[in-house]
Structure formats: structure tokens, C-alpha cells
């Protein structure tokens, strides 16, 4: 089998940030990398699950909602994937910045966190999710939409 694109990225040099992971036709997969890989600090499963609910809810209700295809966590617990269609790099970055700012300050009920709506609704940690989102904001603020690519 061929190696998939995400396994071709050098994870030993990858830093927190936002990267265009792949392009499939008009669908862009964004790597929202919150933690440096293999360095011992990861998102807790409960924080990642909470961020997933919040990030997906915000993105799908934002002014860019019609361009959002998917928001989901990385299995390695170092970040999230965001799949979009029809967004410029600048708009994708703006969406992520707004989403993380919203999550960092969110204090309400977690959307979709009920037995009827979620397969593991008890595994939530809103405080950790807010903290992780807040820690990512300064990283997002340093990014330039013209340089959202992996280092060669």
C-alpha cells in the first residue's frame, strides 16, 4: 500500500500551528496542530472531545458554515483536522482564530453533550477545553495566511 500523506510529514520537527495537510479536488484538509508531536504533552481525551463539540458547533454556525465539511480530532491527541471547501487560506485562518477565541471564553452547556446526542457524553472537560483553546490563541495570532504550509 502507498503511504498516506499525513505519514509523510516529519513529525520530529512539527510545531504547533495551522498547516494545509492535503488537497483533494476542491476540499482542503487543515492540520490544526495544538501540541508538538511525541513530546509527552497531549490533549486529554475529555478536553479533545469537548473541543470537538465546541469547534464543530462554532464552525458550522459561523459565517463560513457553508464551507465547513468536517471538524474532528487527531487520534494522536495533538490537534484537529478541519476540512473546508471554497475558503481562501486567509478565511480558513480567520475561521480557526474565531473558533478558538470563542472556545477559550465559552462557559455555557456543551452543545450535543447528552446521552441522546453523543456516544460518550459524560467524557467532557470544559475547563481543560477552555485552557487548551486559550493556549492555542497566541500561536494562531502569529500565523500569516500566506505561510500555512509544512516546512520542507
Q: How far apart are alpha carbons 90 and 7 in whole angstroms? A: 26
Split at pLDDT 50, 70, 90, the class of 151 is confident
Q: What is the pLDDT of residue 152?
A: 67
Cell numbers linked to 137? 490563541
| Residue 115 CA: distances (Å) to CA of 3, 17, 27, 65, 118 | 38, 33, 32, 26, 6
In tens, the pLDDT along 28-77 reads: 999 999 999 999 999 999 999 999 999 999 999 999 999 999 999 999 99
Q: What is the mean pLDDT of the chain?
A: 96
Say which DSSP state 65 is in: G
Q: What is the pLDDT of residue 78?
A: 98
Q: Residue for cell digits 504550509?
A: 149
Say which DSSP state 36 is in: -
In tens, the pLDDT along 113-133 reads: 999 999 999 999 999 999 999
Residue 143 has pLDDT above 70, yes or no: yes
Q: What is the pLDDT of residue 8?
A: 77
Q: What is the pLDDT of residue 79?
A: 98
What are the start-end ranges of the H helices in 32-125? 45-59, 89-105
Amino acid at each position: 500500500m502507498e503511504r498516506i500523506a499525513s505519514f509523510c510529514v516529519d513529525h520530529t520537527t512539527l510545531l504547533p500551528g495551522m498547516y494545509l495537510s492535503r488537497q483533494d479536488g476542491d476540499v482542503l484538509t487543515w492540520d490544526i496542530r495544538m501540541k508538538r508531536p511525541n513530546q509527552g504533552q497531549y490533549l486529554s481525551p475529555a478536553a479533545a472531545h469537548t473541543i470537538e463539540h465546541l469547534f464543530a458547533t462554532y464552525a458550522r454556525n459561523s459565517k463560513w458554515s457553508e464551507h465547513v465539511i468536517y471538524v474532528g480530532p487527531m487520534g494522536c491527541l495533538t490537534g484537529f483536522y478541519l476540512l473546508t471547501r471554497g475558503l481562501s487560506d486567509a478565511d480558513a485562518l480567520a475561521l480557526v482564530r474565531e473558533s478558538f477565541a470563542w472556545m477559550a471564553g465559552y462557559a455555557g452547556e456543551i452543545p450535543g453533550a447528552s446521552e441522546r446526542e453523543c456516544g460518550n457524553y459524560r467524557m467532557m472537560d470544559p475547563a481543560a477545553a477552555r485552557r487548551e483553546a486559550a493556549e492555542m490563541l497566541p500561536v494562531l495570532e502569529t500565523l500569516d495566511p500566506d505561510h500555512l504550509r509544512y516546512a520542507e
